[in-house]
């Protein structure tokens, strides 16, 4: 090992790690060391190499070059099972826990359930589960409860409980708060600090830089496969600007770009909207206005656009477009007949066709405009390619190959493809649900500029977000939902984080 590293201070050390994939070099000589009992923040834009580095630590990938040391001894981590046996546990962004097993069984996987064909004493695993749940503040959960009934936050805590049962010494958190509301996020961050007090080492990856600054003792920045910066954050004096400058090699003066736009007449109005999850919802949005909708998990904020465009059954309610009542039965009718587009929060399951190329994903909302033979449904390929290339250039979607399948793009570029549909046809209203979730800081700013640009062109924007900072800084006006009901409507200057959370928690 290098002489400057004291092996007694570090639990994990990576030296000169290189990893190449076809067409790209993901890691270029990255070296870092994780101290025992610290929280190491790992940040960088999409494509910086963070995920590759985590997968090398967890044994999913093997480095092409470089050395890995665990507790001072050089090791080869062949697979995740070897990593877990060493004491390394990975909590992924997408929680792949079978929904039909119980909490006790989920925690026991890898311990009691290793016994193969031996009979399992469920009373024992339930008792042990109860003990570990109590330590994590989950005394209210019955170990017999099925995983499928839990919230995202609770599922994450079950994985942590399993890690503690397996005697984990290093926990790797990959975007653990991306699907959590503000209250669950704060609870999760506080738990990380408690785990640190107990001596557990943690690596924390997040695009939410404020969270990294809140919990991390040190912060390592990756850019284009290189380690470009490392900050000592124990005194909490590192700033957001410091991190952003290192990540993207430039300053972002306006993290939440917002220009004053001339707001016109009411374009879209919903009256007395009622569904199984929504109750008596009323709101309107004006030409050029950004209306924010904020709420916590279970508030119903994601159900609003789905009910409006016909994805969710309406029990009652009226919809008015430019003061004329309209009947919207499905998403196709919404966009093609009325100029109302919904950009969903779940780009993987609701937004994109991952196995199709970029160009088909971009033009899907305007396919009716590209048909040149209505009988045989023939598409004008030249017109489609021209529109796609124009938007890819305008939105800086990379790589600039319209035939590349969306599945091979970074998260940020996938989100740009989804947002690009807003520019393929004339629109009056756009519902943007969590438009910047799970993407890097530079791309967040790019997309927020696009949102502001749409509003400046007179499009009415409904911005649905669980990110209170985004809602506060981007909206001209906002409404708050709690348990399927509208509990407040505020002007931008009236809203503060405390007020948002106060109303949303009702």
For helices 182-197 and 152-165, what crossing angle results, to 10°? Answer: 10
Tell me if 302 sits within 8 A of 345, measured CB to CB. yes
Alpha carbon distance 146, 106 (integer Å): 9
The CATH number given to 266-504 is 3.40.50.300
- Mean pLDDT across 280-307: 94
Alpha carbon distance 417, 357 (integer Å): 10
- Say yes or no to pLDDT of 7 above 60: no
Q: Return the domain boundaries, the chain.
A: 10-87+169-248, 266-504
Closest CA to 58 of 39, 36, 75: 75
- Mean pLDDT across 442-457: 90
This prediction has a pTM of 0.74
Of the listed ranges 52-61, 180-189, 414-423, 453-462, the least confidently predicted one is: 180-189
- Say yes or no to pLDDT of 2 above 60: no
pLDDT attached to residue 216: 97
pLDDT attached to residue 224: 87
Tell me if 173 sits within 8 A of 57, measured CB to CB. no
Alpha carbon distance 298, 438 (integer Å): 20
Q: Which CATH class is domain 10-87+169-248?
A: alpha beta
Closest CA to 110 of 94, 133, 90: 90
Residues 6+ apart with CB under 8 A from 53: 14, 17, 27, 30, 42, 222
Closest CA to 291 of 488, 503, 461, 491: 461
| β pairing state of 266-274 and 316-321 | antiparallel
Share of residues in the chain with pLDDT > 90 (%): 57
Q: What is the pLDDT of residues 298-332, one digit of tens each?
A: 799 999 999 999 999 999 999 999 999 999 999 99
Residue 400's φ and ψ, nearest 5 degrees, are -85, 50
Alpha carbon distance 255, 250 (integer Å): 12
SS3 at position 46: coil
Q: Is the peptide bond before 399 cis (omega within 30 degrees of 0)?
A: yes
More confident residue, 504 or 215: 215
Tell me if 455 sits within 8 A of 289, measured CB to CB. yes
Tell me if 441 sits within 8 A of 207, measured CB to CB. yes
Q: What is the mean pLDDT of the chain?
A: 88
| Fold agreement between 10-87+169-248 and 266-504 | yes
pLDDT attached to residue 22: 77
Residue that the structure tokens 């409904």 belong to? 462
Q: Where are the alpha helices (DSSP H) in 309-425?
A: 331-338, 358-363, 367-370, 381-394, 411-420
- Residue 282 pLDDT class (50, 70, 90 cuts): very high
Q: What is the pLDDT of residues 73-112, one digit of tens each?
A: 999 999 999 999 999 999 887 667 888 888 988 888 766 4
Alpha carbon distance 463, 292 (integer Å): 5
Q: What is the pLDDT of residues 195-212, one digit of tens each?
A: 999 999 999 998 888 999
Q: What is the pLDDT of residues 351-369, one digit of tens each?
A: 899 999 999 999 998 888 8
pLDDT attached to residue 427: 94
Alpha carbon distance 247, 43 (integer Å): 8
pLDDT attached to residue 99: 84
- Residue 113 pLDDT class (50, 70, 90 cuts): very low
Of the listed ranges 26-35, 248-257, 445-454, the least confidently predicted one is: 248-257
Tell me if 229 sits within 8 A of 221, measured CB to CB. yes
CA 256 to chain centre: 18
pLDDT attached to residue 389: 93
Share of residues in the chain with pLDDT > 70 (%): 94
């Amino acid at each position: 090992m290098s002489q400057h590293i004291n092996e007694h201070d570090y639990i994990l050390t990576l030296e000169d790690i290189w990893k190449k994939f076809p067409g790209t070099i993901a890691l270029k000589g990255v070296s870092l060391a994780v101290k025992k009992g610290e929280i190491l923040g790992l940040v960088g834009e999409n494509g910086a190499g963070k995920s590759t580095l985590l997968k090398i630590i967890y044994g999913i990938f093997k480095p092409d070059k470089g050395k890995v040391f665990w507790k001072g001894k050089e090791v080869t981590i062949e697979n995740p099972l070897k990593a877990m046996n060493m004491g390394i546990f990975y909590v992924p962004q997408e929680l792949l826990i079978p929904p039909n097993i119980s909490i006790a069984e989920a925690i026991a996987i890898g311990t009691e359930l290793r016994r193969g064909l031996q009979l399992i004493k469920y009373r024992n695993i339930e008792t042990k589960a109860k003990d570990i749940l109590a330590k994590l503040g989950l005394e209210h959960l019955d170990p017999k409860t099925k995983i499928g009934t839990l919230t995202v936050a609770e599922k994450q805590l079950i994985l942590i409980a399993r890690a503690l049962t397996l005697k984990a010494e290093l926990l790797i958190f990959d975007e653990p708060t991306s699907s959590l509301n503000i209250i669950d996020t704060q609870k999760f961050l506080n738990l990380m600090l408690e785990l640190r007090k107990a001596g557990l080492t943690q690596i924390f990856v997040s695009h939410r830089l404020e969270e990294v600054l809140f919990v991390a003792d040190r912060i390592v920045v990756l850019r284009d496969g290189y380690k470009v910066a490392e900050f000592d954050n124990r005194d909490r004096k590192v700033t957001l600007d410091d991190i952003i400058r290192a990540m993207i090699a430039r300053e972002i003066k306006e993290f939440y770009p917002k220009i004053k736009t001339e707001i016109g007449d009411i374009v879209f109005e919903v009256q007395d909207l009622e569904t199984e999850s929504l109750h008596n919802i009323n709101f309107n949005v004006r030409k050029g206005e950004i209306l924010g909708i904020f709420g916590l998990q279970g508030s119903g904020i994601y159900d609003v656009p789905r009910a409006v465009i016909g994805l969710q059954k309406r029990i009652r309610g009226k919809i008015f477009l430019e003061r004329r009542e309209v009947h919207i039965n499905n998403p196709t009718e919404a966009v093609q007949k009325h100029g109302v587009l919904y950009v969903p929060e779940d780009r993987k399951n609701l937004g994109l066709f991952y196995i199709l190329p970029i160009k088909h994903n971009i033009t899907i909302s305007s396919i009716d405009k590209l048909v040149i033979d209505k009988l045989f449904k023939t598409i004008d390929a030249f017109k489609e390619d021209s529109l796609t290339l124009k938007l890819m250039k305008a939105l800086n979607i990379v790589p600039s190959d319209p035939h590349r399948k969306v599945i091979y793009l970074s998260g940020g570029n996938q989100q740009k493809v989804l947002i690009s549909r807003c520019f393929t046809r004339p629109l009056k209203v756009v519902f943007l649900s969590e438009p910047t979730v799970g993407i890097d800081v530079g791309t967040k700013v790019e997309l927020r500029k696009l949102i502001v640009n749409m509003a400046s062109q007179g499009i009415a924007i409904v911005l649905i977000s669980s990110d209170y900072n985004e809602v506060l800084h981007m909206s001209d006006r906002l409404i708050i939902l709690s348990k399927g009901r509208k509990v407040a409507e505020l002007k931008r200057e009236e809203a503060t984080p405390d007020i948002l959370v106060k109303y949303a928690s009702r």
